[in-house]
Amino acid sequence: MKARGAFIDFILKKWLAIASGVGFTLTSLYIGHVPKYSTQEIEVLFILFTLFVAVKGLHQSGLISKAARAIEKGTVVPLKLVVTTFFLSMLVTNDIALIIMVPLTLSINIRRKDLLVILEALAANAGSALTPIGNPQNLFLYWFYQLHPLAFIETIAPFSLTFLVILIAASLLIKAKSGLRRDPATQEVNNKAYIYSGLLFVVLLTVFHVLPVWAALLVVFFALLFDRKSLGVDYSLLLSFFFFFGLAENMKMLLAPEISRSGHVFLFSALLSQFISNVPAALLFAKFTNNWSALLWGTNAGGFGSLFGSLANLIAYKVYLAHEGTENAARFTLKFIILGYAAFFISMGLYFSLH
Query: What one-character DSSP code corresponds to residue 214?
Result: G
Alpha carbons 138 and 14: distance in angstroms, whole number: 22
| pLDDT the model gives residue 292 | 93
- Return the DSSP state at 179: S
The string of pLDDT tens digits covering residues 75-120 is 788 899 999 999 999 987 898 888 778 877 877 767 778 899 999 9
**Minimum mean pLDDT range among 26-30, 224-228, 308-312, 339-343:** 308-312
> Tens digit of pLDDT for each residue in 117-154?
999 999 999 999 999 989 989 999 998 899 999 999 99
Q: What is the pLDDT of residue 15?
A: 67
State the pLDDT at residue 259.
Answer: 55
The pLDDT tens digits for 5-34 are: 566 556 656 766 787 788 889 988 988 888
**Could you tell me what percent of the chain has a pLDDT over 70?**
85
Q: How many residues does the chain have?
A: 355
Q: Among 68-72, 156-160, 303-307, which stretch is predicted with the lowest mean pLDDT?
A: 68-72
176 three-state secondary structure: strand
75, burial (CB in 10 Å: exposed 0-12, middle 13-18, buried 19+): exposed
Residue at 42: amino acid letter: I
Inter-CA distances, 62 with 13, 124, 283, Å: 26, 21, 34
Asked if 133 and 96 count as a contact pair (C-beta separation under 8 A), the reply is: no
Residue 188 φ then ψ, to 5°: -85, 150
Predicted local confidence at residue 154, as pLDDT: 95
Amino acid sitting at position 302:
G
The rounded distance, in Å, linking the Cα atoms of 310 and 28 is 26
Q: How far apart are CA 298 and CA 161, in angstroms?
A: 16
Long-range contacts (CB closer than 8 Å, 24 or more residues apart) made by 203-212: 203/47, 203/50, 203/51, 203/54, 204/133, 206/47, 206/50, 207/47, 207/51, 207/132, 207/133, 207/139, 207/142, 207/143, 208/132, 208/149
- 227 pairs with which residues across the strands? none
pLDDT of residue 244: 77
| 3-state DSSP assignment of residue 135 | coil
| Other CB atoms within 10 Å distance of the CB of residue 288 | 20
Average pLDDT, the chain: 83
Look at the pTM and tell me if it is higher than 0.85.
no
Distance in angstroms (rounded) separating the CA atoms of residues 291 and 285: 10
The DSSP code sequence of 77-95 is: HHHHHHHHHHHHHHHH-HH
What pLDDT does 179 receive? 47
Asked if pLDDT for residue 57 goes beyond 50, the answer is yes
